[in-house]
Amino acid sequence: MAVVGSGAGGGVVAAELARAGLDVVVLEKGGYLAERDFHHQEGDAYRDLYLYAQTLTTDDLACRIVAGSTLGGGTVVNFSTSFATPPAVLAEWAEVSGVAAFASGEVADSLEAVAGRLGVTEGQSRPGVRDQLLERGLERLGWHAGPLPRNVRGCAQDAGCGWCGFGCRLGAKQSTLVTYLEEAAAAGARLVVGVDARRVLISSSSATGQAGRAVGLEAVADGGHRLVVRARAVVAAAGAVETPALLLRSGLGGQVGQHLRLHPGTAAMGVFGEPVRWWEGTLQARWSAELRQRLGPYAPIFETVPVHPGTAAVALPWQSAAAHRALMERSANLSLVGVLCRDSGAGRVRVDRDGSPRVRYRLNAADEARMAAGVAAAGEVLAAAGASEVFSIHRQRFSFRPGAPDAHRAWADATRQAGFAGGRATLASYHQMGSCRMGADPATSAVGPDHRTHEVEGLFVADASLFPTASGVNPMLSVMALAHRAAGPIAAALS
């Protein structure tokens, strides 16, 4: 059994399959770094721990795509937020996909199992200054604020935690690196790093009339060496960009690569009189579902993220070198309210001539309108928290000073009219999903209810690309639950 990817999907399914007695090989495109190796140098960390050194964007350059690429995948570099898939989303997935497991309690049971293994808790979410300001603004407005559930054990929850997007030096973040992959290795699985899986090897005939059966993988190892892995089955768990790219390079078509969701995110920024040091503190400790409660299931939620100098330099508005430098010099006094959008529109993953993934994605009008409402509300939160100035991260710097008559309304109107699509504002995707979505009907999905691809026997998928629609919350736990659930039918198919 060959598993491509070692993150939230690959790490979990590898451990469960190894425990079931299968001979498992895990192929990871990135390298291996552990606690002693996390140097926390921003630029080098992007190179060593992130997919394409964080240079991947949508094909119009409008949205940066952020994903992990190291042993443990995104679970090593993410911000430890561990929401269970909301029940309403599971119900929607069941309706959209026709897969009963979403509504029957089967996926819910897997959510409970992985949350228990990871020690998910709200008891280690002490807010740093950045999250204290978010909470202060929300409470003054009378809006929802709550602690974030996190997959940590013994987290310091101090200023140093802001660097854990470059790897947790304490080993407190319960990534697959320190949980499921260790268990997989203990059960006999072999973990191979620095291996880029290029295509699935598929036999030419099938008794069931499908295109063939997966019999292994062809990959390129570090140094350019060709590597062939023979296997009874293949599990693609390389993420919602790399998994469809692998399948497309392998000759699959149909719905593969379609229905991509990105959770496009933006933010409102605030200038404060006291130091915030927005690169420090617990990674994410507070959130708000205020707009979702008011405006419906596709409205944005609010969170914060640590912002280090390189990220700030990219995100902050550019009017001139002098203006940008002035903003960067005030970086210690800036804070933000992140606007995480649940997108209803979809993009697509294709591959270029050399097989590299190409991501096409455009905000639709409804998602752009909800994003504008989210930014406007985020500005209210920052103003209520005590910001002396609030601005959006459009190319043109729109700002207002709280307390001035009608200032917020005029600012909100200006940001809405400017728009957020086509590179007019800084957008980032930390959550990619849906590009090989699960469903009962091959006309609308790429993968069946048993995690098999519709086109090829013995080829399974176990990552975020399975999602029928966007999860609406940070998706790590949802991915892990689906991978946990996938192990059962995969093991059964090979017994």
Query: Could you list the active site residues?
Result: 431
DSSP 379-428: HHHHHHHT-SEEEE-BSS--EE-TTSTTHHHHHHHHHHHH-STTTTB-EE
Q: Are 309 and 331 in contact (CB under 8 A)?
A: yes
User: CA–CA separation, 80 vs 240, rounded Å?
Assistant: 19
Which residues lie below 8 Å from residue 329, measured CB to CB, with a gap of 6+? none
Burial (Cβ within 10 Å: 0-12, 13-18, ≥19) of residue 76: buried
Q: Which of 476, 486, 402, 372 is nearest to 8 (CA)?
A: 476
Which residues lie below 8 Å from residue 28, measured CB to CB, with a gap of 6+? 5, 6, 10, 70, 71, 73, 191, 192, 193, 194, 195
Q: Are 270 and 385 in contact (CB under 8 A)?
A: yes
Q: Kindly provide the b/e burial profile for residues 409-430, where b requires at least 16 CB atoms within 10 angstroms of the residue's own CB.
A: eebbeebbeebbbeeebbbbbb
The strand pairing partners of 452, in sequence order, are 460
Which residue type occupies 348? R
Which residues lie below 8 Å from residue 352, measured CB to CB, with a gap of 6+? 358
User: CA–CA separation, 417 vs 433, rounded Å?
Assistant: 29
User: CA–CA separation, 442 vs 71, rounded Å?
Assistant: 32
Neighbours of 6 (CB within 10 A): 35
Which residues lie below 8 Å from residue 59, measured CB to CB, with a gap of 6+? 358, 359, 360, 361
Q: How many residues does the chain have?
A: 495
User: CA–CA separation, 261 vs 255, rounded Å?
Assistant: 14
User: CA–CA separation, 156 vs 69, rounded Å?
Assistant: 25
Q: Are 221 and 195 in contact (CB under 8 A)?
A: yes
Q: How far is CA 339 from CA 137, 235, 303, 367, in A?
A: 15, 33, 7, 12
Q: Are 147 and 122 in contact (CB under 8 A)?
A: yes
Question: Which structure tokens are listed for 417?
Answer: 């009219």
